[in-house]
């Protein structure tokens, strides 16, 4: 019966210190590279304050994850090089160290992982609340809202398999294309006429499920001009993959021209649409093939 191999018991090198120093140097370099070099290019970009917040979160998480990743890699690499059986060696000359645990190491591990995790939870909560829901869908009555009172209301209506947009402040007109004014606080009211979809405006940092009979509110404030992509992000049936289009952020005056023109152009059609409401029950207008019986649980009819 063999005990600990003399190779192990006779080893007096300070492995822990070595690993720590290699790790410290690698982490400082790695985390700095992630934060300062890669960070500004991380998705989803900086088109709105919400997107910027998400980019910041992804950047911070990557900066924190790097030392963790490096610690495991460096430790395991070091262990593999140092403690693997070399050519010609076998277990015949003895086993590894008889070690069933170490109070100090375990204690520090519990403490460090708990502290990291709790800080991340606090950080995430702050980053969720401060930018008013961080661009995510917040249900019909959000408790985290932007401070500004004047907001452009944009209703996103999802159905199999397209998005349309309604602007209650412009006579309730409905369009298939989306333009948004720059530097304006926007409230998206996302709903669906049939199954669950998801309104994902990638560059705006907005994502909200479109549920039938539910108004799901999300906020964003663009501060850059340009085009953004809208994709459906919840499986909604056969043409889910084709359910995308593009929107544009334009200057407020361009937007105003676009919207008022459309309002006039569409006036005849708008009259025929159901009255603007936060949710729609398709059978009210005969749409949806009578799949849903009349009556809106939100009392909007």
Partner 1 sequence: MAIDMSAPTGVGRPGDSPANGTSRGKGFRLNALTALIAGAIGYLFGHWAGNAIASGYQQVQGSGQNDIAVILGYLFGTVGWFAGLGALNYPIKKIFGCEPAGDEPSYEKGVGKYFRFTLDHKVVGVQYLFGMLTYFFVAGLLALAIRTELLSPTNHIFSPDIYLEVVSEHGTLMMMMMTSVVMGPFGNYLIPLMIGAKRVAFPRLEAASFWFTPASFVILLSALWMGGFQSGWTGYAPLSIQQGVGQDSYIMAFALMGFSMICASTNMIATIINYRAPGMRWSRLPILVWSLMATAFMMVLAVPVLIDGLYVMALDRTAQTSLLYGAHGGSPFLWENLFWFFGHPEVYLLAVPGFGIVSELAPVFCRKPLFGYKTSAAGMIGVSVLSFFVWQHHLFQSGMNPDMRPMFMLTTELISIPTGFLYLVGMGTLWKARIKFDVPMLFVAGLFFNFLFGGLSGVYLSDVPADVTIHGSFFVMAHFHYTIMGALIFAVFGAIYYWTPLITGIQLSSKLGKIHFWTMFITFNSTFLPLFAIGLLGQPRRVFEYAHRLQTLNDWVSISAYLLGLSLTFFVVTFVWQLAVVRKPSPKNPWHSRGLEWQGAMPPLPHNFDTIPVIQSGPYEYGDPNAIPMVEWGTNGDVTAPASVGGAS
**Minimum separation from the CB atom of position 158 to partner 1 (A):** 12
288 DSSP β-pair partners: none
The candidate with the shortest Cα–Cα distance to 60, out of 18, 120, 4, is 120
Nearer to partner 1, 173 or 230 (CB): 230
Q: Which residue has the tokens 């869908």?
A: 137
Which window, 13-21, 189-197, 249-257, 286-294, contacts Cu ion (CB under 5 A)? 189-197
State the binding partner of 21 from Cu ion, partner 1, none, CB within 5 to 8 A by kind: none
Integer angstrom CA distances of residue 159 from 56, 90, 114, 209, 220: 33, 67, 44, 12, 22
The single residue listed with the structure tokens 């204690």 is 107
Q: Using H for helix, E for strand and C for coil, what is the string for 210-263?
A: ECECCCEEEEECECCCEEEEEEECCCCCHHHHHCEEEEEEECHHHHHHHHHHHH
Interacting span for partner 1 (CB under 8 A) from 91-99, 145-153, 165-173, 262-270: 91-99
The 235-274 contact track toward Cu ion, x by CB under 5 A, reads: -x------x-------------------------------
Nearer to partner 1, 24 or 196 (CB): 196
113 near partner 1, judged by CB under 8 A: yes
Among positions 19-48, residues that touch partner 1 (CB under 8 A) are 42-44
Contact by Cβ (8 Å): 192, 157 = yes
Q: Is 230 in the site for Cu ion (CB under 5 A)?
A: no
Q: Scanning residues 241 to 280, which ones bind partner 1 (CB under 8 A)?
A: 241-242, 244
Q: Is 52 an interacting residue with respect to Cu ion (CB under 5 A)?
A: no
Interface segment toward partner 1; rule CB under 8 A; list 21-29, 99-107, 247-255, 261-269:
99-107
Asked if 295 touches partner 1 (CB under 8 A), the answer is yes
CB-facing half-sphere around the CA of 268: CA atoms within 13 A: 1
From the list 5-13, 20-28, 149-157, 258-266, the region that binds partner 1 by CB under 8 A is 5-13
Residues 6+ apart with CB under 8 A from 9: 94, 97
CA atoms of 259 and 75, how far apart (whole Å): 60
Quote the CA–CA distance of 214 and 232 in Å, as a whole number: 17
Binding site for Cu ion (CB under 5 A): 197, 232, 236, 243
């Amino acid at each position: 019966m063999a005990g600990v191999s003399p190779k192990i018991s006779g080893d007096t090198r300070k492995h822990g210190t070595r690993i720590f120093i290699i790790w410290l140097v690698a982490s400082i370099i790695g985390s700095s590279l992630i934060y300062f070099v890669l960070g500004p290019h991380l998705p989803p970009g900086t088109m709105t304050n919400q997107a910027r917040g998400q980019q910041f979160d992804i950047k911070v998480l990557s900066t924190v994850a790097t030392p963790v990743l490096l610690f495991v890699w460096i430790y395991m690499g070091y262990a593999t090089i140092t403690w693997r059986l070399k050519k010609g060696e076998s277990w015949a000359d003895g086993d590894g160290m008889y070690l069933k645990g170490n109070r100090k190491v375990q204690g520090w591990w519990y403490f460090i992982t708990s502290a990291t995790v709790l800080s991340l939870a606090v950080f995430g909560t702050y980053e969720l609340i401060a930018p008013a829901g961080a661009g995510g869908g917040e249900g019909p009555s959000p408790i985290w809202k932007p401070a500004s009172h004047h907001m452009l209301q944009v209703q996103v209506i999802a159905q199999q398999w397209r998005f349309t947009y309604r602007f209650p402040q412009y006579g309730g007109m409905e369009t298939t294309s989306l333009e948004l004014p720059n530097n304006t606080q926007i409230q998206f009211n996302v709903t669906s006429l049939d199954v669950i979809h998801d309104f994902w405006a990638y560059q705006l940092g907005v994502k909200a499920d479109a549920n039938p009979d539910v108004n799901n509110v999300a906020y964003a404030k663009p501060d850059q001009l340009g085009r953004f992509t809208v994709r459906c992000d919840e499986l909604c049936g056969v043409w889910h993959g084709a359910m995308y289009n593009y929107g544009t952020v334009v200057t407020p005056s361009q937007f105003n021209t676009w919207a008022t023109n459309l309002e006039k152009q569409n006036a005849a059609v708008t009259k025929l649409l159901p009255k603007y409401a936060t949710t729609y029950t398709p059978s009210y207008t005969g749409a949806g093939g009578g799949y849903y019986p009349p009556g809106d649980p939100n009392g909007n009819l």
